[in-house]
Amino acid sequence: MTTETVRADRPPLRERAVAELTAARARTKALTDAVTDEDLTAQHSPLMSPLVWDLAHIGNQEELWLLRNVAGRAPMHPEIDPLYDAFAHPRADRPRLPLLGPAAARRYAAQVRGQVFDLLERTPLEGTSLLADAFAFGMIAQHEQQHDETMLITHQLRRGEPVLAAPDPAPPAGPPPAVREVLVPAGPFTMGTSTEPWALDNERPAHVRETSAFWIDTVPVTCADYQAFMADGGYHEPSWWAPEGWEQIRKHDIEAPLFWHREGSVWLRRRFGVTEPVPGDEPVLHVSWYEADAYARWAGRRLPTEAEWEKAARHDPAQGRSTRYPWGDADPTPDRANLGQRHLRPARAGSYPAGASPLGVRQLIGDVWEWTASDFLPYPGFRAFPYREYSEVFFGPAHKVLRGGSFAVAPVACRGTFRNWDLPVRRQIFSGFRTARDA
């Protein structure tokens, strides 16, 4: 029998859907209005789509799921569907497609959104799985925010003068954590969810997992921690690396996290067009799974499994249940987590004591995505919904799980059960990690 939190109080789902869709579109507009039309149509890296592709894809998916599937309307522009099918064309090939231009893409997305708001106002939120609890509208809000994060990654890869700005996170409130690691006791806990209304298919269903006791870092691994690994020859000692990882760093001459370079004895990094000294007290960012795994081996530790990470983030031993977030069931607030692109960097390690777990683990939500040791696999009883291509086609050993979100992730697309995944070579994503060890 699982013990899972009941839904916390939140605004009525119709009002919440309007608010989340509005917030997502405001962010999309800010990310696309910040650059010229030339930058919108350029491909800043073969790893990423042109920004204008993401803009029109957002509108196309919204039309597909809300106007066609929910409302039963005919396609507005069926000829463009193949252009914005994420599985039809690799990202590197998308600039050569006859894509909508910036003005047409903005107009299309706006037309779709206008009809969606009308639909949301008068559609009963019941009767089908897509409509119950406004799921389809929540799914689309999450989809847009996920592409906003993707576009922010493209902004980081973009060369040129800075076009984005945000205040830096405040210094940590209160004293730093008293210990570097905490013990998570052995025993069962409830993993996943069956009650979170907008949880996606790979987060479901809730089920019991058993873990042995383990120790986990109180905060993510910092840039200073990682520089110690580098200074000790971490990128030159094959014994720390998985064979595929060693092959990658040799093939591409990798000697530091992505966007880092050294001038004399000082390590610098490029961050959204600004070059600055690497801050030692921030969580390390832009490292691959292979780099995280190598660091953990060097440190005599390991990456936590996905189940261990979620237990550290959600299990409250005193209450004997899993909560929605490390701090409890309430939605994220600015004093609990660095989310939603309020800042363009992680907060210093040890920040957000109000967001700590009952055991005292900090920054499990926000700041940096955290690599885990686990492959991306379905939970027992998994059912693909509403389409196989969201999760099912990615299951298997090729993809590793990341947890916890980053400063680039919106709260609507981040919760204690949310699962992200990527190839272990990926470094452009806002990824860091923390380590663990057996008790």
Binding-site residues for Fe cation sit at 57, 143, 147
Q: State the SS3 of the chain.
A: CCCECCCCCCCCHHHHHHHHHHHHHHHHHHHHHCCCHHHHHCCCCCCCCCHHHHHHHHHHHHHHHHHHHHCCCCCCCHHHHHHHCCCCCCHHHHHHCCCCCHHHHHHHHHHHHHHHHHHHHHCCCCCCCCCHHHHHHHHHHHHHHHHHHHHHHHHHHCCCCCCCCCCCCCCCCCCCCCCCEEEECCEEEEECCCCCCCCCHHHCCCEEEEECCEEEECCCCEHHHHHHHHHCCHHHCHHHCCHHHHHHHHHCCCCCCCCEEEECCEEEEEECCEEEECCCCCECCCCCHHHHHHHHHHCCCECCCHHHHHHHHHEECCCCEECCECCECCCCCCCCCECCCCCCCCCCCCCCHHHCCCCCCCCCCECCEEEEEEEECCCCCCCCCCCHHHCHHHCEEEEEEEECCCCCCCHHHCCCCCCEEECCCCCCCCEECCCEEEC
Q: Which residues are annotated as a binding site for gamma-L-glutamyl-L-cysteine?
A: 91-94, 422, 426
- The dihedrals phi and psi of 437, each to the nearest 5 degrees, come to -155, 155
Amino acid at 236: H
- Residue 342: partners with Cβ closer than 8 Å, 6 or more residues away: 166, 167, 334, 407
| Contact of 32 with 163, CB cutoff 8 Å | no
Q: Which residues are annotated as a binding site?
A: 57, 91-94, 143, 147, 422, 426
